[in-house]
Amino acid sequence: MFNKPANTSEWQALDKAHHIHPFTDPKYFDSRGVRVMTTADGCYIWDSDGNKILDAMAGLWCVNIGYGNKDVVQAAARQLETLPYYNTFFQSSTPTQIELAARLTELTPGDLNHFFFANSGSEANDTVIRLARHYWTVRGKPKKTTFIGRHKGYHGSTLAAVSLGGMKDMHALGHTLLPGFAHIMEPHCYAHGNGLEPEAFGLQAAQKLEEKILELGPETVAAFIGEPIQGAGGVIDPPATYWGEIQRICEKYDVLLVADEVICGFGRLGHWFGSEYYGIRPDIVSMAKGLSSGYLPISAVAVSDEVFAAIQEGGPLAHGYTYSGHPVACAVAIANIDVIERQSLVDRVRENTAPYFRQCLGELADQHPMVGELRGAGLIAALQLVRDKSARENFTAEDNAANICRDICLDNNLIMRAVEQSMVICPPLIITRTEIDELVEKAWTGLNDTAARFGLL
């Protein structure tokens, strides 16, 4: 018989004893203990001590429609009652799987008209690798197997998705960089621009792709993959010149272009997909997170008519997951898309809340002595923390400034994410102007308190 913990410290003790956490410093369990979240509504979550916290990270970059949407809950309940499970293997389908694929066809740009379902962004990207390599085999170029990604790219945590990504500490864990994956510089102007204008730097960063393709030999390169804006890498939004040049290079060398839309998809940049914001015409797109606003796990891979034609020619596809297109997850994704459409969330972000969000954060970035730059677009942003703004002196890793700021903000009931020396913000798309005011005010307070901690204010 399990005795339910009576308070936060009892939950924390059990958690520490039995629960393994991703990306959590073990020291944290002794210094603070995990935070135990219990309920949520809209843009707010409540912890086990009853604190009401503004979730400026939409969970983990995913709760686009906000918490507690009853329509989605009811759609899930209805589907659980009607047909809680059936699979997509061996000539089978269910109405929700078919409807979701058809709805996604309407929403995705270009001729991305065919969808394969999986359960997470990682699985979607593993699927991308298998499909792209299969594509080239069917098209008579079986040597085209290598994927090129970017440093600080994040594509997931499975063996293959880790290799696709460019996170050094993730490669180091368990020696998980597989052969067949290469990486180029991320288009981070602040970090690598060396005083170049963003437009010139964007071209330079994209040309690293051409150099890498030539180094590896175009006959060996299957695809380039990139997030329209790199999220977990620190919200790295490329200069306007970048994606056009990447597209040109991919076409020149017959390399598939894959957009990882796991964060940017479903309205984050004020368009259904980040590819539309940047004018990218991808051959393959992976999506997850905002597809269901995180209410249930589901992901999808969209492929173009041409990639689909090759898959069809290739015979039975030896790939799939038990829960590919789980009917309840599909029902939730459909209800989630309905909510986004009914509330015109994509237009609202583009025309209303994102411009206001960027204006408020822009003022903060201009005026606050500890903020070196504001990055991002739409409702995704990073504030680069600096020790000295005019001298562009960065904090060191040992300073731990962003983690300190994150904890100070959390104590003030605001969740932001710390990535290296940046504070990252990615609120639900339903956020109102009043809630943006609260977010920015709390961010100011958190930055002031952090600056005071370093004797900078």
We find the least distance from the C-beta atom of residue 325 to ligand PXG, in angstroms, to be: 16
The candidate with the shortest Cα–Cα distance to 283, out of 106, 138, 150, 112, is 112
Q: Which is nearer to ligand PXG, 288 or 371 (CB)?
A: 288
β-strands 284-287, 256-260 pairing: parallel
Q: Which two structure tokens, joined as six digits, stand for 397? A: 């890793």
Of the two residues 121 and 372, which places its CB atom closer to ligand PXG in the complex?
A: 121
Closest separation between CB of residue 227 and ligand PXG, Å?
Answer: 5
Nearest to ligand PXG of 157, 413 (CB atom): 157
Closest by alpha carbon to 343, among 30, 45, 64, 55? Answer: 64
Q: Which is nearer to ligand PXG, 302 or 451 (CB)?
A: 302
Shortest distance (Å) from residue 122 CB to ligand PXG: 3
Cβ proximity to ligand PXG: between 285 and 339 the closer is 285
The footprint of ligand PXG (CB under 6 A) covers: 60, 120-122, 125, 154-157, 227, 231-232, 260, 262-263, 288, 417
| Residue 169 or 215 with smaller CB distance to ligand PXG | 169
Rounded to the nearest whole angstrom, what is the least distance from the CB of residue 156 to ligand PXG in the complex?
3
Residue nearer to ligand PXG on the CB measure, 232 or 246: 232
Rg (CA), the chain: 22
What's 126-180 look like in SS3? HHHHHHHHHHHHHCCCCCCCEEEEECCCCCCCCHHHHHHCCCHHHHHCCCCCCCC
Rounded to a whole number of angstroms, the minimum distance from the CB of residue 155 to ligand PXG is: 5
CB of 424 to ligand PXG, least distance (A): 7
Nearer to ligand PXG, 177 or 309 (CB): 177
Find the shortest distance in angstroms from Cβ 230 to ligand PXG. 8
Distance of alpha carbon 73 from its chain centroid, rounded?
24
Q: How far is CA 48 from the centre of its chain?
A: 27
Vertex 51: Cα angle to 50 and 55 (nearest 5) = 130
Euclidean distance between CA atoms 202 and 208, whole angstroms: 10
Closer to ligand PXG by CB, 262 or 408: give it.
Answer: 262
- Grouping H, G, I as helix, E, B as strand and the rest as coil, residue 336 is helix
Instruction: Indicate the residue among 343 and 400 with the shorter CB distance to ligand PXG.
Output: 400
Find residue 18's DSSP bridge partners.
none
Please give the residue whose beta carbon sits closest to ligand PXG in the complex: 121
Least separation in angstroms between residue 181's CB and ligand PXG is: 15
Residue closer to ligand PXG (CB basis): 11 or 154: 154
Give the DSSP letter string of 390-432.
TTTEEPPTTT-HHHHHHHHHHHTTEE-EEETTEEEE---TT--
Q: How many other CB atoms are found less than 10 A from the CB of residue 455?
A: 6
Beta bridge partners of 300: 117, 287
Residues 6+ apart with CB under 8 A from 30: none
Residue 198 or 231: which CB sits closer to ligand PXG?
Answer: 231
Place of tokens 């203990």: 33
Is residue 232 within 8 Å of 29, Cβ to Cβ?
no
Contact status, residue 284 vs residue 304, Cβ threshold 8 Å: yes
Angle at 140 between CA 139 and CA 143, to 5 degrees: 110
Rounded to a whole number of angstroms, the minimum distance from the CB of residue 121 to ligand PXG is 2
To the nearest whole angstrom, how small is the minimum distance from the Cβ of residue 316 to ligand PXG? 26
Residue 298 near residue 336, CB atoms below 8 Å: no
Q: Which of 83, 164, 92 is nearest to 123 (CA)?
A: 164
Residue 113 sits at φ, ψ, to 5 deg, of -115, 10
Minimal distance in Å, beta carbon 373 to ligand PXG? 19
CB of 226 to ligand PXG, least distance (A): 9
Rounded CA separation 288/218 (Å): 30
